[in-house]
Structure formats: C-alpha cells, structure tokens
Amino acid sequence: MKRARPRYSPPPESPPRQGALPPAPRFTHVTIDDGLSDQRIHTVLQDSTGFIWFGTINGLNRFDGYDIVEYRNDPTDPHSLSSNWIDDLHEDGTGILWVATRFGLNAFDAVRWISSLGVCRI
C-alpha cells in the first residue's frame, strides 16, 4: 500500500473575527488509483473516531486521510462481510459500525467483525 500525503490540510490559522464565516473547505478526490475498491460508491459515513467509510459495489473501504483499508467478503471466512455490495452504513451510540449488504447485516467494532446476520425473508 502506497503512503500518500494527507488529502486535506487546513488553511493557515488566522485570528477569528466575530461573525466571520469559516474558511471554505478545499476538496480533493479519493479514487481507485488511491486504493478505493470501486468508483461506484453507494454510501459514505464518517465515524466517531474520524475514519471515513465508503460502501461500494465491490467492498467496504476505510480511509484515515492517508491510506485506504479494504474489507471484502471471503467465502472461506464466515466472519467476513456477507457480501461485497454495500448498501448502507450506520454507527450506533456504542461505536459499532453496521454495514448493510445485499446478503445481510454486519457489525464491526473497529477491531473485528462481531456478527454477520444472513438475509431474512418475510
């Protein structure tokens, strides 16, 4: 994994003025060239620790401002993501990241996958 420079550097500090607007953010792009698993992103979430999570049709990606870590389904590992197609992301009040995929609901506690619930059909 290549080491990149930070994607965002805040503008130099200046004394705050009362009623002044904050400086405009400067946007950069994270692409598949940076390690993103797919350019088609379905959902984005910034968690309580600052990581930015991207749910794509080809896996889950965690971005820390420098590197991207990719999480994917491994058919030989029952504790991996239930599918690479990520539909939605949510962080609950205890810091658990909930990942909704095409084939189930997954929970991640920032260290490991703690559950993978299969698809429920009604």
Q: What's the pLDDT score for residue 68?
A: 94
Report the chain's C-alpha Rg in angstroms: 17
Cβ(70)–Cβ(84) below 8 Å? no
Q: What's the pLDDT score for residue 45?
A: 96
d(CA 70, CA 99): 14
Vertex 69 angle, CA 67 and 75, to 5°:
165
Domains in the chain (CATH in brackets) are 32-118 (2.40.10)
Q: What's the pLDDT score for residue 113?
A: 60
Place of tokens 């609950």: 92
- Run means of pLDDT, 10 residues per run, the chain, 122 residues: 52 61 75 91 94 96 92 89 95 92 87 55 32
